[in-house]
């Protein structure tokens, strides 16, 4: 008899041969430079993850950006900022353009560097030398000056929050010429130099007057300018009353510490604000941001406010699609998924772990697809019984309480094959670092070997692999029936819904980025 390990049945032969190894040492499929840059730009936070240091991620982005054409770098920067709502990555790509193509840099800069935080990040990256230069240079200085000249007084005031570098540092670097007495007075105030107080912008005048005795209405200056001061509970209550939806979500513990909820009606008012559908829509809140607030809320935050966060989650996830046919959701609950979703950052690490996001996606899909099966996995499939009538937060929490072992991405598919099941859609939420099943797929990954077996029973079956950390490899390569998704946001559910209805998954992210438009070559002024 011929060697059965070498000569497999036709079903096994259909699985494509693995082309590389992932960071955990298991077989995997490599992505093209453009596909890898697209995924990393959409999900990378340049902070340490379980498998990759921040330095490794930075080196990878710089290498990828050097290997793809400059127009794709520009489009990726635009996509990462506009649609991915990323911060560090689009600023880094903008800094790369400053060293590669000044025309594309001049076009992309005002679209990517759209607020003070982005401006400070761009200057910090450029001056660090990681992109090949340690000074701004004439063209970047010109763009920064234009940003300062075009910014409104309110936008400049918001930009004054933060350091390393501060807005004052940037003004000293580029020497903008004030075009009015108001702007000249603002720069003097910002730099600690003599200025005409009467010429200050109205908001700054109001703030300086309020600081003297802290009476009257709280000025509508950036939230951080107020909370940095030594305020009493009554002032904190006034701030909480005027806070935006996002400011409220981010400062619940601060409000509790400073006695805001002890004032009559404040807990009800803040709870009503948090669950207000229109405010939630306008805030463009991401589901994991609500999970952050919920997980971080201290015991001092009233229960009705914590419940309002759960209500807000249900509203924020209203775009979860109802999918025709049978659905199986496979959240990874292995040990590596315990890592913070945005990477480890000393005392600033996110409270949300990768496993929290996996649980969130699974619970959200179960909410609107109540017949869906949820098969959490680590070494093998883990038993976790979820009630689709429970809240998303409750079911997500249940999933985070199981698992912790090694990563075996093929385990759910292997169980489905043992059962003879033939689902229409299989959705993975993982970090893709499968290694337990390294020897089970032969020359292919075990995921693809099992997937081809399942496809024999249901040729129309489709698979979505959501990779919630920046990876350059996958367990299942892009093709018409397999969609690889990098990162997680509200858009993920829309993409899954479209794909389930028959969309083509081949090179999805490259096609998404290529839709960003660039102008014909512009003349540098």
Condensed to tens digits (0 to 9), the pLDDT of residues 151-190 reads 999 999 999 988 889 999 999 999 999 999 999 999 999 9
- Asked if 24 contacts 51 with a C-beta cutoff of 8 angstroms, the reply is yes
Asked whether residue 48 carries a pLDDT value surpassing 50, the answer given is no
pLDDT of residue 491: 65
What token pair was written down for 208? 């300086």
pLDDT of residue 450: 96
Look-up: residue for tokens 């560097």? 113
Among the listed ranges 102-106, 220-224, 374-378, 521-525, which one has the minimum average pLDDT value? 521-525
Question: Which parts of 298-445 fold into alpha helices (H)?
Answer: 303-316, 354-368, 392-400, 411-419
pLDDT of residue 41: 73
* Nearest-angstrom CA–CA distance, 58 and 47: 9
Condensed to tens digits (0 to 9), the pLDDT of residues 359-408 reads 888 888 888 788 899 999 999 999 888 888 888 888 888 888 888 889 99
Would you say the C-alpha torsion 314, 320, 322, 327 has a positive or negative sign? negative
Exposure string of 443-468, with b = 16+ CB inside 10 Å and e = fewer, is: bbbbbbbbbbbbbeeeeebbbbbbbb
| Beta bridge mates, 368 | none
More reliable by pLDDT, 519 or 464? 464
- For residues 79-93, give the mean pLDDT: 85
Provide the pLDDT confidence category of residue 506 given band limits of 50, 70 and 90: low
pLDDT of residue 164: 84
Nearest to 232 by CA among 240, 224, 220: 240
Q: In a 3-state reduction of DSSP, which class is residue 384?
A: coil
Asked whether residue 411 carries a pLDDT value surpassing 90, the answer given is yes
**Most confidently modeled of 73-82, 355-364, 416-425, 472-481?**
416-425
- 329 φ/ψ sector (left φ>0, alpha ψ -120 to 50, else beta): beta
- For residues 125-150, give the mean pLDDT: 91
Asked whether residue 244 carries a pLDDT value surpassing 70, the answer given is yes
Asked whether residue 47 carries a pLDDT value surpassing 80, the answer given is no
- String of DSSP letters for 400-431: HTS--S---TTHHHHHHHHHT---SEEEEEE-
- String of DSSP letters for 160-177: TS--SS-HHHHHHHH---
* Nearest-angstrom CA–CA distance, 348 and 340: 10
Asked whether residue 134 carries a pLDDT value surpassing 90, the answer given is no
Is the link from the previous residue into 183 a cis peptide, with omega within 30 of 0? no
Asked whether residue 323 carries a pLDDT value surpassing 50, the answer given is yes
More reliable by pLDDT, 229 or 182? 182
More reliable by pLDDT, 334 or 354? 334
pLDDT of residue 489: 62
Provide the pLDDT confidence category of residue 3 given band limits of 50, 70 and 90: low
Q: In a 3-state reduction of DSSP, which class is residue 32?
A: coil
- For residues 484-508, give the mean pLDDT: 73
* Nearest-angstrom CA–CA distance, 48 and 45: 8
What token pair was written down for 222? 């950036």
- Asked if 300 contacts 261 with a C-beta cutoff of 8 angstroms, the reply is yes
Look-up: residue for tokens 């939630």? 280
Nearest to 113 by CA among 132, 133, 138, 93: 93
* Nearest-angstrom CA–CA distance, 332 and 393: 17
Distances (CA, A) of 291 to 244, 266, 274, 341, 346: 18, 22, 13, 12, 20
Sheet holding 327-331, edge to edge: 373-374, 327-331, 425-430, 462-467, 482-486
For the stretch 260-268, contacts whose Cβ atoms lie closer than 8 Å and that sit 24 or more positions apart, written own/partner, are 260/233, 260/236, 261/300, 261/301, 261/302, 261/305, 262/233, 263/233, 263/237, 266/237, 266/240, 266/241, 267/302, 267/304, 267/305, 268/304
More reliable by pLDDT, 489 or 461? 461
More reliable by pLDDT, 99 or 135? 99
Nearest to 415 by CA among 403, 406, 405, 426: 426
**CB-based burial label for 368 (10 Å; 0-12, 13-18, 19+):** middle
pLDDT of residue 256: 95
- For residues 201-230, give the mean pLDDT: 81
Asked whether residue 72 carries a pLDDT value surpassing 90, the answer given is yes
The pLDDT > 90 percentage for the chain reads 44
Q: What is the mean pLDDT of the chain?
A: 85
Provide the pLDDT confidence category of residue 409 given band limits of 50, 70 and 90: very high
Provide the pLDDT confidence category of residue 221 given band limits of 50, 70 and 90: confident
More reliable by pLDDT, 451 or 470? 451
The domain 10-28+320-514: what is its CATH number?
A: 3.40.50.410
What token pair was written down for 493? 């559910």
pLDDT of residue 287: 76
Would you say the C-alpha torsion 173, 177, 182, 185 has a positive or negative sign? positive
Provide the pLDDT confidence category of residue 141 given band limits of 50, 70 and 90: very high
pLDDT of residue 304: 95
- For residues 237-251, give the mean pLDDT: 89
pLDDT of residue 341: 67
CA triplet 306, 357, 488: central angle to 5 degrees?
115
More reliable by pLDDT, 320 or 262? 262
Nearest to 71 by CA among 34, 126, 35: 34
Among the listed ranges 117-121, 345-349, 371-375, 446-450, which one has the minimum average pLDDT value? 345-349
Among the listed ranges 117-121, 139-143, 279-283, 488-492, which one has the minimum average pLDDT value? 488-492
Among the listed ranges 140-154, 189-203, 320-334, 509-523, which one has the minimum average pLDDT value? 509-523
Among the listed ranges 234-238, 266-270, 350-354, which one has the minimum average pLDDT value? 350-354
The count of other CB atoms within 10 Å of the CB of residue 134 is: 11
The pLDDT > 70 percentage for the chain reads 89
pLDDT of residue 53: 56
């Amino acid at each position: 008899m011929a060697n059965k390990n070498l000569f497999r049945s036709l079903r096994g032969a259909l699985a494509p041969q693995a082309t590389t190894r992932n960071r955990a040492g298991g077989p995997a499929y490599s992505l093209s430079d453009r596909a890898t840059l697209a995924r990393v730009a959409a999900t990378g936070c340049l902070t340490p993850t379980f498998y990759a240091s921040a330095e490794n991620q930075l080196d990878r982005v710089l290498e990828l950006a050097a290997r793809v054409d400059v127009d794709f770098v520009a489009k990726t920067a635009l996509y990462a900022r506009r649609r991915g709502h990323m911060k560090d990555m689009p600023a880094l790509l903008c800094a790369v353009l400053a060293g590669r193509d000044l025309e594309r840099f001049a076009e992309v800069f005002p679209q990517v560097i759209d607020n003070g935080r982005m401006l400070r990040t761009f200057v910090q990256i450029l001056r660090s030398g990681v992109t090949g230069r340690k000074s701004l240079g004439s063209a970047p200085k010109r763009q920064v000056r234009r940003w300062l000249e075009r910014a409104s007084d309110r936008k400049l005031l918001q930009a004054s929050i933060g350091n390393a570098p501060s807005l004052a540092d940037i003004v000293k670097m580029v020497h903008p010429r004030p075009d009015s007495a108001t702007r000249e007075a603002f720069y003097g105030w910002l730099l600690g130099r003599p200025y005409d107080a009467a010429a200050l912008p109205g908001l700054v005048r109001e703030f300086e007057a309020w600081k003297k005795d802290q009476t009257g209405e709280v000025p509508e200056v950036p939230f951080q300018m107020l909370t940095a001061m030594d305020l009493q509970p009554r002032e904190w209550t006034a701030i909480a009353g005027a806070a935006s939806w996002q400011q409220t979500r981010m400062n619940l513990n601060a409000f509790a510490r400073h006695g805001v909820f002890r004032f009559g009606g404040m807990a009800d008012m803040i709870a009503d604000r948090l669950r207000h559908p229109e405010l939630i829509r306008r805030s463009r809140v991401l589901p994991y941001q609500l999970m952050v607030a919920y997980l971080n809320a201290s015991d001092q935050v009233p229960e009705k406010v914590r419940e309002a966060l759960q209500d807000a989650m249900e509203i924020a996830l209203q775009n979860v699609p109802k999918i025709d046919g049978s659905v199986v959701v496979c959240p990874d609950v292995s040990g590596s998924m315990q890592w913070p979703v945005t990477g480890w950052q000393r005392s600033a690490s996110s409270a949300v772990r990768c496993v929290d996001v996996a649980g969130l996606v699974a619970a959200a899909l179960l909410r609107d697809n109540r017949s869906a099966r949820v098969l959490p996995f680590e070494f093998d499939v883990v038993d976790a019984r979820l009630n689709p009538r429970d809240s998303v937060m409750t079911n997500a929490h249940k999933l985070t309480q199981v698992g912790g072992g090694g990563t075996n991405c093929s385990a759910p598919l292997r169980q489905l094959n043992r059962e003879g099941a033939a689902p229409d859609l299989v959705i993975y939420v993982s970090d893709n670092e499968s290694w337990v099943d390294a020897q089970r797929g032969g020359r292919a990954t075990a995921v693809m070997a099992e997937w081809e077996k399942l496809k024999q029973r249901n040729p129309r079956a489709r698979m979505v692999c959501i990779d919630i950390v920046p990876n350059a490899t996958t367990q299942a390569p892009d093709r018409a029936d397999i969609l690889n998704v990098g990162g997680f946001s509200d858009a993920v559910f829309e993409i899954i819904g479209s794909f389930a209805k028959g969309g083509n998954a081949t090179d999805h992210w490259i096609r998404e980025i290529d839709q960003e438009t660039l102008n014909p070559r512009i003349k540098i002024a």
